[in-house]
Structure 1
Amino acid sequence: MTRTLITGGLVITAAEEVHADVLIEGGRIAALAAPGSQRWSADRVIDATDTYVIPGGVDAHTHMELPFGGTFASDTFETGTRAAAWGGTTTIVDFAVQSVGRSLTEGFDTWMEKANGRCAIDYGFHMIVSDVNGATLREMDALVAQGVTSFKLFTAYPGVFYSDDGQILRAMQQASGNGGLIMAHAENGLAIDVLVQQALARGERDPRHHGEVRKVLLEAEATHRVIQLARVAGAPLYVVHVSADEALAEIVTARDKGLPVFGETCPQYLFLSTDNLAEPDFEGAKYVCSTPLRPREHQAALWRGLRTDDLQVVSTDHCPFCFSGQKELGRGDFSKIPNGLPGVENRMDLLHQGVVDGHITRRRWIEIACAAPARMFGLYGRKGTIAPGADADVVIYDPAAEQTLSASTHHMNVDYNAYEGKRVRGKVRTVLSRGEVIIDNGAYTGHAGHGAFLPRGVTQYLG
């Protein structure tokens, strides 16, 4: 049984910061001890002097190989999980998709087949529910028993993923009985479609209009609505990719009432804005995603929500489409631009820059990027922390290293970087997944198929 010893680093978890030696045995954390206090023997010793020793990141919102807008997300499970590892993320929770007229089980099996034997890191699945009916509701119970314990519904994308209020209520009622967590993409899709057609009729066809028609008030309205439906159903609710102050305010109001309502935001809403959507020569298409980028003034509210725990998680909504040949499908019609941004490789570094900039503390960085997503989706204790018994998903992170984010150096399978040219402080040095070194001082040493499927428990946020 291989033993690894990590010495000399500052161990940072959501709960504490302590200089400690970390002993890994059999793919798990075996023990922590004051530096030099134990004479542990090890097959491999990693010197972490002057670095942080942190849990591997948990990105709870990715879309590898997602079919969308007549094309597919450009990262496969192999390329996308490898890129995640480069960025210090050691677990993803992706989305299996139910097609309208098909069963949840068929969708789950299809995505399991896509991922099986290809992932560099561990992975789980949420289930996108596109067709709520009696059979679907019964299948939800069976999937919870199999470790798929979260279900995403959409108030957006009529004709594709959209569910009406009655369908959403029925799914929430089912989840309230089986322990599942309902995730909601909250935008008023029916109203947005009206505004899209009106904008196109006026000749407003550039990428910037994508953000203008997907109005803040329509995100806030849908957020309010799904919260009220969850109250009626007696179900917990997780609102994905919150982008706007007004939508966050609806979550804050609910949480102030003591309701089990949770929120997620993404790095793009913390660092990018409508200024990017307005870049000339169709460059703005690179930044088309939904919910859309907002004016910069919303960023302060989102950072504040992360500090106050009104937003619990930062995920990426990683759904990359190349500019050439994919984003270009929408030249002359912004509504045909595939919606999605790359980011799975950059999340941990961008959030560390949030520490450097004074937006959050180091422990809060680990909370929102590692511990909270693990707790939210039934993985904590195994993932998201460094403690005896946890999986040895460990990142040696150099807080002093500087880097420039760029498509020329990233490992995501996409031809641009949404943060091109941004200087950040902090960089991954070494990554271990279940005790196996998969990134080692700037070299990838992992392999496809190392990643294991994770059956998840129910959310650990509820008493």
Structure 2
Amino acid sequence: MFHHFTSSVMLTGGIDPHTHLAMEFMGTETIDDFFSGQAAALAGGTTMHIDFVIPVNGSLVAGFEAYERKAKKSCMDYGFHMAITKWDESVSREMEIMVKEKGINSFKFFMAYKGSLMINDELLLQGLKRCKSLGALAMVHAENGDAVFEGQKRMIELGITGPEGHALSRPAVLEGEATARAIRLARFVNTPLYIVHVMSIDAMEEISKARKSGQKVIGEPVVSGLVLDDSGLWDPDFITAAKYVMSPPIRESGHDKALQAALSTGVLQLVGTDHCVFNSTQKALGIDDFRKIPNGVNGIEERMHLVWDTMVESGQISVTDYVRITSTECARIFNLYPRKGAILTGSDADIIIFNPNSSFEISASSHHSRTDTNVFDGRKGKGKVEVTIVGGRVVWQDDELKVVPGSGKYIEMPPFSYLFNGIDKSDAKYLSSLRAPVRRFNSAS
């Protein structure tokens, strides 16, 4: 897992399960593409990421081809999740093509973003059933989109148009509700479920309850939710406040500590970033209306450092746990282990050399992302990635990147990860337990 030498440790390269590079969203496109976002990742010790393919006019194949083009300039390994934004027979057929021919083993359903990405319960049920039959993992963005729409109207009526209105319009109760609903529908279908960017105690407690009952539910907190609170949204400077706008929102103080505790005790399993960055000019699209601020924060470069400082340096987790939540568990969930997420004979040589005694400082002026802001700006901590090695090649050393566009590889992810173990048995048990249909005799009329 890790080897000690002098003061540094050798660890498996990080895998970020949740990024959005070159994504068209809310009338603009994220500023980091597959080269700049990946360069930032490598500088921060992450050697693979999984990005979300957004369908084109509902078509998965067209979406996949568009993302293949976007990723031509990649400089590190990447995989794809696929978002499902509408439902019909052709989407169902295309899901099979994605799983069997394109190396995709996860599909994401948005319960939020009414009028653009949001799907209803009927579609979610169809999607869960289809995922189950294909051995693909269903992922959800869990917020009640109908209620958020109401909350947004409420804020505008109150004259609250600034970034703070974003947090106030979509409180944690709406994340808890959607998380509970998704978990229960997944139980009804009997298929594993992955909850992306768990931002609140409300959502975390639903996941905890389901896991205690034996249900296969994975919870993914993101770095911003683990280390920040929502105070920045009240900053009098619009550009500063707007940079913190993401969904679900960063919560008030207290949620961050609770999410850290849940991660340290295994209630939550791995850490992503939801790296989805817009510069201050793009964020200013919502200068008069928080509903028009493109949602998203950074994290792809900062994740490995901040998780170490917040979780290992503070004594909440061990180095072994650190490797698990930043790399190994992601590789297992998405069926890449032991090719990824391990330092073993036959594994890809994606390795970082990490110095626990060195310190880092995060700044928008020195980071490798193309954006001009950083939600972790000014933050200092212990633990620094000194060297990043990808496939045996040194790509980051002495604070210098040596990356070539086009050197990254697309990594296919096979279906039926360990989360599907035993599903067929529990289905059979359910069928045999029904004691139905009951044979009834017709009483003479």
Q: Is TM (by shorter chain) over 0.5?
A: yes
Contact 2:172 2:200 in 1 (8 A): yes
| Gapped regions of structure 2 (runs ≥ 5) | 422-445
Give 1:189's aligned residue.
Answer: 145
2:306 to 342, 346, 350: 350
Give 2:377's aligned residue.
Answer: 420
Give 1:439's aligned residue.
Answer: 396
1:326 alignment partner, SS class:
helix
2:228 to 272, 275, 290: 272
CA distance in 1, matches of 2:327, 2:11: 9
Listed one character per residue, the Cα deviations across residues 257-310 of structure 1 (whole Å, up to 9, x for unaligned) are 101111100110111111111111212101000010101111222112111211
Structure 1 position 248 matched with structure 2 position 204: yes
1:129-168 matched pairs, under 5 angstroms: 129-145=84-100, 146-168=102-124
1:9-88 matched pairs, under 5 angstroms: 13=1, 17-19=2-4, 49-88=6-45
Give 2:182's aligned residue.
Answer: 226
1:44-443 matched pairs, under 5 angstroms: 49-100=6-57, 102-116=58-72, 118-145=73-100, 146-282=102-238, 283-323=240-280, 325-354=281-310, 355-443=312-400
CA distance in 2, matches of 1:460, 1:444: 36
Q: Which runs of 4+ in 1 moved over 6 A?
A: none
CA distance in 2, matches of 1:75, 1:436: 23
CA distance in 2, matches of 1:80, 1:415: 14
Listed one character per residue, the Cα deviations across residues 309-349 of structure 1 (whole Å, up to 9, x for unaligned) are 111110000000001x1111111211111000011000000
Measured after TM superposition, the shift of residue 415 of structure 1 is 0.1
Contact 1:99 1:131 in 2 (8 A): no
1:280 alignment partner, SS class:
coil
Contact 1:305 1:311 in 2 (8 A): yes
Measured after TM superposition, the shift of residue 60 of structure 1 is 0.8
CA distance in 2, matches of 1:460, 1:292: 31
Structure number having the greater strand percentage: 1
Contact 2:286 2:294 in 1 (8 A): yes
Contact 1:87 1:428 in 2 (8 A): yes
What fraction of aligned residue pairs are identical, expressed as a percent?
Answer: 39
Measured after TM superposition, the shift of residue 197 of structure 1 is 1.1
CA distance in 2, matches of 1:183, 1:434: 29
Contact 2:8 2:355 in 1 (8 A): yes
Give 1:8's aligned residue.
Answer: none
CA distance in 1, matches of 2:265, 2:165: 32
- CA change 1:18–1:431 in 2 (3 A) is closer
2:371 alignment partner, SS class:
coil
CA distance in 1, matches of 2:307, 2:408: 24
Contact 1:341 1:418 in 2 (8 A): yes
Measured after TM superposition, the shift of residue 18 of structure 1 is 4.3
Contact 1:56 1:370 in 2 (8 A): yes
Give 1:450's aligned residue.
Answer: 407
1:407 alignment partner, SS class:
coil
Listed one character per residue, the Cα deviations across residues 47-76 of structure 1 (whole Å, up to 9, x for unaligned) are x53201001100010000111111110001
1:112 alignment partner, SS class:
helix
Q: Tell me the number of residue pairs that the alignment of Structure 1 and Structure 2 aligns.
A: 417
Q: Which residue identity is paired with 1:167? A: L
Measured after TM superposition, the shift of residue 460 of structure 1 is 3.1
Listed one character per residue, the Cα deviations across residues 132-158 of structure 1 (whole Å, up to 9, x for unaligned) are 111111211111112101000011001
2:401 alignment partner, SS class:
coil
Measured after TM superposition, the shift of residue 365 of structure 1 is 1.1
1:310 alignment partner, SS class:
coil
* TM value normalised by structure 1: 0.88
2:35 alignment partner, SS class:
helix
CA distance in 1, matches of 2:309, 2:247: 24
Task: State the superposition RMSD in angstroms.
Answer: 1.1
Q: Which residue identity is paired with 2:164? A: R
* TM value normalised by structure 2: 0.92
Listed one character per residue, the Cα deviations across residues 228-248 of structure 1 (whole Å, up to 9, x for unaligned) are 111111111000000110111
CA distance in 1, matches of 2:256, 2:158: 30
Structure number having the greater helix percentage: 2
Contact 2:154 2:169 in 1 (8 A): no
Listed one character per residue, the Cα deviations across residues 157-215 of structure 1 (whole Å, up to 9, x for unaligned) are 01111110010000100111110000000000111101101211211011111111111
CA distance in 1, matches of 2:316, 2:223: 13
